[in-house]
Amino acid sequence: MVQVEADVRRGTTAAAGAHAAAAVAAIAVSTTDSAAAARTTWSAQRRRATILDPPAAKVYLGLAAALLRGLSASNSFYPWCCQGFIQPSMGVCGIRSARASMSAVAVVARQSQQLQRPQRPTYPGGLGRRLLLASGLAGVGLLQPQTDESRSAQVEQALGRANNLLYNPKRYRIFETSSRLFHDPEHRLLRGHASLLSSMPENCIFCVGEEHNHPMHHAAEFSLLKALVSQSPQHLPVALGLEMFDGTRDHKAALNDFVFGSDDLGDLKRRTSWDQNWGWPIRHWAKLLNYAKANRMQIIGLNCPWRVSDFVERNGINGLLGKPRFPEVDLLDPMHRHRFLKERYSQTVADAPSEQTISRIYQAQTLRDEWMAEQAAVHAQQVGGRLLCIMGRTHVAGRRAVPNRIHRRLGGKSGWAAPHTIILQGAEWQSKDCDLPTILGQDLPGTDEADWVWYTERKKGCSVN
């Protein structure tokens, strides 16, 4: 006779006890042949389970437990197959007895009609399967290899993997504004004559505009960086410029110790005061940072220190212009000012109490543009080669923020063309099999917007973001 073990450590309901008792009774009156068959099946399953050595078996049991734990931690999502057994107050310990009595409960349910099978919810476009995997990954995050062993870094890495499962990795298309053609980056970024990078000059700056919390944008940047490294001559240095770090001496020292020394991501976060200066989870850029470290690739901090930009936003820029190590700031571009006020700070402008406040907001943002352009241009002049600069989309779109200000500094220098601009843009897609984005209510962008517009799925809201 198969014994059903009830797990009472977490507490079970009276109905569950009744079902278990009825299950024992139903099995007790079964024939001897059925009992022997059950014992034979159980012995075979046990032999198969012990093929793995004890450490490996513990790992797989841990994965299964973490998956169910991740599901039980959610207050609003339970897969249909678990709704009869997993309750919000029920932990992993209570799952063992439910699994042992699953077949018996099915017999009792058919006889007494006390246990009703819940309706299976439907999710569009496979979202249910992705949420299931996302919940599981959130639970097993501690089993993933980590560069930074801190608890916060482990959580950030696990949630990053879970969020990435919500997107279709095939929905990437590069729109080349000069030729008006769409390209599949999976093929057109490969080494060869057909590569979109094959015609790039040796000395070139790439300005990439992203949404800071979009997983597909960070994946696109990572694939672009790898393609750039693989298709650049060995004698040509390739560097990575990031808005997330300041263009200051202390951040430069921290980045050099991370890339060329023994510092890890935790040390980099601490030394650059990441949470105070930037705030977005560092997991978004962890693959880029680790790739640069593995390849000993120099990382350039681009941004203006927030204390300086905050001072300008409150007091204006007039007292700082012309100071040593302070960049040249052009506030006389009417198209840049119009675009900035219209697209980026329309709500701020609507609430602004005075023209002076509007002017100071614009001065602070233009200072950030100039500071990033200065850091990129200085590196280009001193080192040369190729520099991939990653920043917010508004710093790149329309070319008039950072790209044009880089070109103003390098335009007279031999061997340097205007920066190559790339905008990462979320879009709708007609179906899961459609290989082109749907551009609703707008025309495809022209060369005045960027050289490439790299389309992805739109950013999706998710509780694990």
Q: What is the rounded CA–CA span in Å between residue 438 and residue 211?
A: 19
Task: Tell the residue number behind the tokens 């241009």, with chain if given.
Answer: 377
Which pLDDT belongs to residue 51?
37
DSSP lists the bridge partners of residue 183 as 174
Asked if 79 and 143 sit in the same domain, the reply is no
Asked if 157 and 217 sit in the same domain, the reply is no
Asked if 379 and 261 sit in the same domain, the reply is yes
Asked if 137 and 8 sit in the same domain, the reply is no
Asked if 283 and 388 sit in the same domain, the reply is yes
Asked if 42 and 72 sit in the same domain, the reply is yes
Look at residue 123 and tell me if it is in a domain. no
Asked if 177 and 323 sit in the same domain, the reply is yes
Exposed, middle or buried, 353 (CB in 10 Å: 0-12/13-18/19+)? Answer: exposed
Look at residue 384 and tell me if it is in a domain. yes
Q: Between the CA of residue 282 and those of 249, 287, 395, what are the distances in Å?
A: 21, 10, 20
**Which among 300, 304, 301 is positioned nearest to 367, based on CA atoms?**
304
Asked if 37 and 100 sit in the same domain, the reply is yes
Q: Are 404 and 224 in contact (CB under 8 A)?
A: no
Look at residue 251 and tell me if it is in a domain. yes
Q: What is the rounded CA–CA span in Å between residue 148 and residue 267?
A: 9
* One-letter amino acid of 45: Q
Residue 277, C-beta contacts closer than 8 angstroms, at least 6 positions apart = 246, 305, 306
Asked if 26 and 76 sit in the same domain, the reply is yes
Which pLDDT belongs to residue 50?
37
Model confidence, pTM: 0.66
Reported as a single tens digit per residue, the pLDDT across 300-337 is 999 999 999 999 999 999 888 888 889 999 999 999 99
Domain that holds residue 156: 128-166
Look at residue 462 and tell me if it is in a domain. no
Asked if 15 and 147 sit in the same domain, the reply is no
Number of domains in the chain: 3
Reported as a single tens digit per residue, the pLDDT across 35-81 is 444 444 444 444 443 334 444 554 455 555 545 544 444 433 333 33
Asked if 283 and 141 sit in the same domain, the reply is no
Look at residue 120 and tell me if it is in a domain. no
Q: Are 400 and 339 in contact (CB under 8 A)?
A: yes
* Spans of the chain, pLDDT less than 50: 1-55, 58-59, 66, 69-125, 135, 137-149, 462-465
Look at residue 122 and tell me if it is in a domain. no
Look at residue 22 and tell me if it is in a domain. yes
Asked if 256 and 393 sit in the same domain, the reply is yes
The CATH number of whichever domain residue 183 belongs to comes to 3.40.50.11550
